[in-house]
Structure 1
C-alpha cells in the first residue's frame, strides 16, 4: 500500500490521529537542526551583504579620488594674458613652479591647399595613368607655385585606371594611399573641383604630377606644381614662427609642446609685436575643498565599516579582511604618500588631516593653509596625479587605490570573504535538502510502523467484538 493511502487510513483501528502524531514526532526530531540552519543562513546573508557593501564603498572611494586627481583641477595650471593669441594647458606631470614666459606669435603654421578647375561632373572620367605626389619646400605667389625643392622622402605613386578615373574615384585613390595629403571633391554651381590638403609645415608642400596613359589623357589638368595651369593654390605650406622670451623659433604645427617646459601652446592667431605673458594659477582653493571632501567621505566609509565590526552585533566582527581594511584606513594619515627632504611634509597628518580618538578624521584648515603657503608644490603632489596616473610620487590616490585593491582581492580581501560566505550559504542549502530528505524517510518509516500497529489494533478489536457476541449468545441460551 502506498504511503499516501496508509496515511489516509491511519487511526481507523486505534482511534488515534496517528498522522498528526507522526508529523509532530518528525518535526520535533528535526526542529533544532532546521532552526540552526536557518539562523546560520541569515547570518551568512548578512555577512555577504556587509562584505559586498564595504568592498564597494572602498573601491568607489578610491575610484572617485583617482578621477579627481586626474581631472587637473588639483594641479597648478598655466595662464595666458591673451588666449585669443595663445591658449595654454598643462602637460600631465609637469612642474610649473618656475613658469614665467613671454610669447610672440609672428606667423601661424599653415597647410598647402589646392583646387582644380571646375568640371561638369564628379563622376565623369577625367583620364588614366599615374599621379605622383612629391613632398618638399615650395614658393607660392598669387595662387601659383613659383619654386619647389623636393625633400628626401620617396614620392608616392597613385594608379588611376578605368575603375577610379572620375574626380570621386581619384579622391578616394589618393586618400587610400595615405601619403599625407587629403583629397575631397567640392561642388557648387560652377561645377566639381578636386581639393587637396597637405599637413602643416613648410617642408610639407607638395606637387602632383600626372603620367598619362596614351589614349586616355586628361589627368594632367590636375597637376600641381610649377607651371601647372589647371589648379590654384589657396594657401601655402608654412611653419609657425614663435618668439619665446625674444628668441624666434619655428615649428610645423600650431600645437606646440616643446617650447615652454610643462606647457602646451595652441597658437590661435598671429599678431607680430604683441607680447603674451604666461603665468600660473595655484589650485589652493580646490585643494582645500578636496581635502575636506576626502575627510567627509572617509568618515562615512569608516563609520559604516566600524558598525559591522562591532564585537557584539557586527556582521563582520570575526572577518579578518574587514579588520585589515580598518587597520589600513587608520594608518593612512601617517603613511608617507610623497617623497620629500627634511621638514617637507610627506603625510596627511603633517598638512592638517588629523585622526580623532574614535578613528574618524578632521581637517585643520589652518594647518592646511599654512602648508599650502610654505609647500604648495608638495601638497599638490599629494593630491594631484602625475603623468596622468596616481603614483607614489603624489600618492594619496595611489595609497587609497592600494587599500582598495587589497580589499577587492578574491584571495585575502573582502572579495574572498564574499566568495567564502556564498559557498557556505550554498552548503547550507545542500544541508537543508539533506535534512528534508531524511525527514521524509523518517516520516515514511514511522507511517508504515504506525499503519502496522493500527492494523493489529483493528484486528484485536474485531476479535473482541466477535467474542463479546458469542458470550452474549451463550448467556441468552442459558
Structure 2
C-alpha cells in the first residue's frame, strides 16, 4: 500500500508525520529487541559453521590415516644415481640389492649406400619393411617419386615406427638414406629389403646402431633381466628402475616413515585447530564480563570431548604395549587442551614397528590359519565376535605346462626366437635373445623377457615343476585370469599347450553363510560378516578357521566425527538447523509487526488528513462568518449614521 504523505500542518500547522513516526517508533521497540536477538543468533550460527569447518578438516586428515596409504610408502635409494635411479610402490620388497647394468637399450639405425643426388629419381620398386616380429608391410614406390627424399617421406609417413631421413657426408656419393626405429629394444629391430630398381639401394645396409635390450644383472650370479627400454619393472617386485648408464649400484628399498609421521601429525594439528577455536568461542572474560558466543552450546563441547577421549582410548585386541596413541608419543597439554606429538618417539616407533603403528589407526585381523588374512571391513560388518571361515576351494592361477628342458645346451636363433602369448585377453609378441642356453638360463631369460614385455596387470611367472617341465602361470588369481601360448617358433622349444586355460575364484563361507569369491578375495554378503573381506592365500581347503577383527582408531573416531558433522544427523548440523530456524522465525515475526505498524501508520495519517480537512472546512466557515459579521457591522454603522443626519 502506498504511503500517505503531504498532510503536515496544511490547516492545523501541526507536524503530523513526526507525531505519527514517534508513535510508530514507540510501538516498534519490541521488534528492536528481536532484531538484536537475531544478530546474536546469526553470529552464533557463523561460529558454529566455523567449528564445523575445522572438524571437517580434522575428519579429512583422519581419512588419510584410515586409507592406510600413509603406512605403505616405500623408498628406493641408489648408491650410484649416475648408473640407475628407482621408485618403490607400496608392495615393494624391502632389502639391499647389488645391481649391475650391463647393457643400455638402443634403437636400430641403418644407412643405405651413398648416392650422388638426393632429389634424382632412382626407379620403381616395392619396399618390404618389418619391425621386430611383426608382420611385413609393403610400400610401393613409383618411378616419378623415388628420390631419396621421397622414399624417406614415404617410409616415415607409413606409421610403422620407423623414421627415415637423408644425410650428407663428405666425399663422393655423399647422400645416404638413414632408417631409425622410434623405439629401443630387440622387438623394434628393422628388417628391410626391396625389389626392382630399388633392390640395390637396400642391399648391404650398414648398421649404425644395433637394436638391443637393456640388461641388469643381480648380484654375481646368472640372474639377468632384460627390458626393451631403459626402464625395468621386473627386477624387484614393486620397484621401477631407470637405467642411466652401464655400471654397478646398490639399491636399498625400505619403508618411508616420513609419510606416516606427517599424516599423524597433520591430524593432530587439525584437531588442535578445532580445540583452539571452540575454546576461544566458549571462554568467559571475567574482567570484561564478556563470554564466548558458543558458551551455551554444550552439545558441541561434549561432541569434541568425545572425539578426544576416543583418541586416547586403547584399541581392543592389540598388544598392551602398542594399543594406545600414548605409546607412539601422542599426549595432551592439560593447560591448553591441545594434543601434543613427540616426534622423536613417533619416528622411533614407526621405524621399529611400522605395522604396529598402522594397526592403531587401521582395522586389522588375527587369523588362526596363516593362509587366511584380514583385508578390510565394511560399514555393516559387526566385529563383536570371531568369525568362522571355511574354504572349500582355493583360488587358482591360470597355468600351462610345457616340455622337459633337460637337453642342454639349447640354441636360440632366428628360426626359433619368436614367442607369443595371450594373457587376460591381451596378446603379446616378443623375441628371445639369440644365443646358447642351459635349461636354467633359458627359463630365467624367458622370465626376464616376459617381465619386460607384459603389462602390469598381465604378469606371468616362469618355473619348472618336479618333473623338470617348464610352467607358465599368471600372477593374477581367479576366473578372470586367462593364459594361452601361441603356436610361435619358440614354442617348439618349450612345448606349451596352445589351448586357453583359466584360473578359479576362492569358494567358501563366513559364519556358515556363503561368501562371494573374486580371485583370492572372499567377501561376506550377509549377517555380521557383511562387507568383511578376506585374502585367502591357502592352496588347500580350510575348515573351522577363526578370524578376530580389531577395529582401529580410524573407524572408531569416524563414528565420533559423524555424530558431530554428519550432514543429516550430526549435532553440529542439528545446531545449525536450529539456529537457522530461530533466525527465520524472528525474521517472520519482525516482518509481521512491520506490516501491522505500517497499516497503523497509514491509518493514523489518514485520520490526521481527515482532521486537516475538517479544520480547513471550519476555517473556511470561520472566514465566511467573520466576513458576514463584518459586513453586518458595517451596515449597522451606516444605518446609524444616516439616522443621525
Query: How big is the shift at 1:451?
Result: 0.2
- Determine the C-alpha separation between the residues in 1 that align with 2:121 and 2:591: 81
Query: How big is the shift at 1:270?
Result: 2.1
Matched, 1:355 2:332: yes
Matched, 1:102 2:81: no
Q: Which moved more, 1:468-477 or 1:356-365?
A: 468-477
Q: Answer yes or no: is the 8 Å Cα contact 1:125–1:167 preserved in 2.
A: no
Relative distance call for 1:245 and 1:10 in structure 2 (3 A) is same
Corresponding residue for residue 134 of structure 1 = 130
Q: Which moved more, 1:154-163 or 1:449-458?
A: 154-163
Which of 145, 155, 163 pairs up with 1:183?
163
The TM-score normalised by the length of structure 2 is 0.52
Which of 159, 177, 185 pairs up with 1:201?
185
Q: Which moved more, 1:351-360 or 1:395-404?
A: 395-404
Q: Answer yes or no: is the 8 Å Cα contact 1:89–1:265 preserved in 2.
A: yes
Residue 114 of structure 1 aligns to a residue whose secondary structure is strand
Q: Aligned runs of 1:245-394 on 2, under 5 Å?
A: 246-252=221-227, 253-271=229-247, 274=248, 276-280=249-253, 295-308=268-281, 313-315=292-294, 318=297, 324=303, 327-328=306-307, 331-334=310-313, 342-343=319-320, 345=322, 347-357=324-334, 359-364=337-342, 367-368=345-346, 371-372=349-350, 374-379=352-357
Query: How big is the shift at 1:20?
Result: 0.8
- Determine the C-alpha separation between the residues in 2 that align with 1:438 and 1:160: 97
Query: How big is the shift at 1:299?
Result: 1.7
Relative distance call for 1:159 and 1:317 in structure 2 (3 A) is farther
Relative distance call for 1:333 and 1:134 in structure 2 (3 A) is farther
Tell me the number of residue pairs that the alignment of Structure 1 and Structure 2 aligns. 434
Q: Which has the higher helix share?
A: 1
Q: Answer yes or no: is the 8 Å Cα contact 2:310–2:557 preserved in 1.
A: no
- Determine the C-alpha separation between the residues in 2 that align with 1:370 and 1:331: 24
Instruction: Report which structure shows greater RCO (CA 8 Å, sep ≥6).
Output: 1
Matched, 1:238 2:213: yes
Relative distance call for 1:283 and 1:307 in structure 2 (3 A) is same
Query: How big is the shift at 1:372?
Result: 4.2
- Determine the C-alpha separation between the residues in 2 that align with 1:416 and 1:120: 89
Residue 105 of structure 2 aligns to a residue whose secondary structure is coil
Q: Answer yes or no: is the 8 Å Cα contact 1:123–1:168 preserved in 2.
A: no
Relative distance call for 1:83 and 1:322 in structure 2 (3 A) is same
Relative distance call for 1:362 and 1:321 in structure 2 (3 A) is closer
- Determine the C-alpha separation between the residues in 2 that align with 1:82 and 1:185: 37
Please, which runs of 5 or more residues in structure 1 have no aligned partner?
137-150, 385-390
- Determine the C-alpha separation between the residues in 2 that align with 1:192 and 1:457: 119
- Determine the C-alpha separation between the residues in 1 that align with 2:131 and 2:613: 111
Q: Which moved more, 1:464-473 or 1:33-42?
A: 464-473
The TM-score normalised by the length of structure 1 is 0.67
Corresponding residue for residue 140 of structure 1 = none
Please, which runs of 5 or more residues in structure 2 have no aligned partner?
285-290, 363-375, 378-549, 638-645
Query: How big is the shift at 1:174?
Result: 3.0
1:104-163: CA deviations, max 9, x gaps?
222233332335567899999888886554344xxxxxxxxxxxxxx3x44456677899
Corresponding residue for residue 108 of structure 2 = 112
Q: Answer yes or no: is the 8 Å Cα contact 1:354–1:361 preserved in 2.
A: yes
Relative distance call for 1:333 and 1:369 in structure 2 (3 A) is same
Q: Answer yes or no: is the 8 Å Cα contact 2:52–2:565 preserved in 1.
A: no
Query: How big is the shift at 1:452?
Result: 0.7
Relative distance call for 1:471 and 1:353 in structure 2 (3 A) is same
The alignment's C-alpha RMSD in Å is: 5.3
Corresponding residue for residue 11 of structure 1 = 9
